Amino acid sequence: MNGAHDLGGKHCLGPIAPESEFSEPVFHHEWERRVFALTLATGMLGQWNIDESRFARERQHPQRYLANSYYENWLAGLEKLLDEKQMLTSDSSSRWRAASPDCAAQLLAAGSPTSRAAQRAPAFACGQRVRVRKLSMAGHTRAPAYVQGTTGVIAQFHGWHCYPDQRARGLDSAEPLYSVCFTGQSLWGPNSEASEVLIDLWEPYLERAENND
Amino acid sequence: MSHDHEHDHTEPPSDLELRVKALETLLLEKGLVRSDTLDAIIETYEHRVGPRNGAHVVALAWSNDEFRRALLADATAVVSELGYVGRQGEHLQVVENTAEQHNLVVCTLCSCYPWTVLGLPPVWYKSAPYRARAVSEPRSVLAEFGTHLPESTQIRVWDSTAELRYLVLPERPRGTDDWSVEQLQKLVTRNAMIGVERARMPEDLLERDP
Give ipTM to 2 decimals: 0.97
Same domain, A128 and A93: no
Interface test with A, best of B109, B141, B160 (most A CBs within 10 A): B109
Same domain, B108 and B40: no
Q: What is the mean pLDDT of chain B?
A: 94
In this prediction, residue B1 has a pLDDT band, given cuts at 50, 70 and 90, of very low
Residue B84 lies in a domain: yes
Task: Return phi, psi of residue A130, to 5°.
Answer: -135, 155
Here the CATH number for the domain that contains residue A76 is: 1.10.472.20
Residue A14 lies in a domain: no
Q: Indicate if B112 belongs to the active site.
A: yes
Residue A42 confidence (pLDDT) above 60: yes
Q: What is the pLDDT of residues A120-170, one digit of tens each?
A: 999 999 999 999 999 877 899 999 999 999 999 999 999 999 999 999 999
Task: From B47, B64, B88, give the residue that closes a domain.
Answer: B47
d(CA B77, CA B90): 10
DSSP per-residue codes, A6-26 = --TT--------PPPTTT--S
Average pLDDT on A20-29 reads 97
Residue B130 confidence (pLDDT) above 70: yes
d(CA A209, CA A186): 14
Within B158-197, where are the H helices? 181-185, 190-194
Task: Return phi, psi of residue B203, to 5°.
Answer: -70, -25
Provide the shortest C-alpha distance from residue B197 to chain A (in Å): 11
Average pLDDT on A53-73 reads 97
Residue A4 lies in a domain: no
Same domain, A48 and A60: yes
Task: Return phi, psi of residue B129, to 5°.
Answer: -60, -45
Same domain, B57 and B42: no
Q: Which pLDDT score, from 0 to 100, does residue B69 have?
A: 98
Here the CATH number for the domain that contains residue A199 is: 2.30.30.50
Same domain, B61 and B43: no
In this prediction, residue A89 has a pLDDT band, given cuts at 50, 70 and 90, of confident
Supply the DSSP symbol for B48. I
Same domain, B86 and B189: yes
Same domain, A133 and A154: yes
Q: Which of A37, A45, A195 is facing B38, going by the closest CB pair?
A: A37
Q: Which of A29, A113, A142 is facing B162, going by the closest CB pair?
A: A142
Average pLDDT on A68-85 reads 97
Task: From A86, A112, A138, give the residue that closes a domain.
Answer: A112
Same domain, A103 and A131: no
Here the CATH number for the domain that contains residue B134 is: 3.90.330.10
Task: Check if the beta carbon of residue A31 is closer than 8 Å to that of residue A71.
Answer: yes
Structural domains of chain B, count: 2
Please give the share of chain B, as a percent, with pLDDT higher than 70: 93
For residue A74, the surrounding DSSP H or E stretch is helix A70-84
Instruction: Using a CB–CB cutoff of 8 Å, tell me whether B48 touches chain A.
Output: no
Provide the shortest C-alpha distance from residue B61 to chain A (in Å): 22
Task: From A70, A88, A112, give the residue that closes a domain.
Answer: A112
Structural domains of chain A, count: 2
Interface test with B, best of A21, A201, A203 (most B CBs within 10 A): A21
Same domain, A124 and A194: yes
Q: What is the pLDDT of residues A193-205, one digit of tens each?
A: 999 999 999 999 9
Residue B7 confidence (pLDDT) above 80: no
Task: Check if the beta carbon of residue B123 is closer than 8 Å to that of residue B3.
Answer: no
Same domain, B123 and B22: no
Q: Are strands A151-162 and A196-202 parallel, antiparallel or unpaired?
A: unpaired
Q: Are strands A151-162 and A129-132 parallel, antiparallel or unpaired?
A: antiparallel
In this prediction, residue B9 has a pLDDT band, given cuts at 50, 70 and 90, of low
**Letter for the amino acid at A179?**
S
Supply the DSSP symbol for B163. S
Name residues 23-42 of chain A within 8 A of B (Cβ).
24-31, 33-38, 40-42
In this prediction, residue B4 has a pLDDT band, given cuts at 50, 70 and 90, of very low
Which range of residues forms the domain containing residue A88? 30-112
Residue B207 confidence (pLDDT) above 90: no
Same domain, B89 and B170: yes
Same domain, B42 and B62: no
Q: Which pLDDT score, from 0 to 100, does residue A59 have?
A: 96
Task: From A112, A145, A179, give the residue that closes a domain.
Answer: A112
Please give the share of chain A, as a percent, with pLDDT higher than 90: 90
In this prediction, residue B2 has a pLDDT band, given cuts at 50, 70 and 90, of very low
For residue B141, the surrounding DSSP H or E stretch is helix B138-144
B77: closest CA among A81, A115, A99? A115
Q: Which pLDDT score, from 0 to 100, does residue A192 have?
A: 95
Residue A15 lies in a domain: no
Q: Which pLDDT score, from 0 to 100, does residue B198 have?
A: 97
Residue B72 confidence (pLDDT) above 70: yes
Which range of residues forms the domain containing residue B151? 50-208
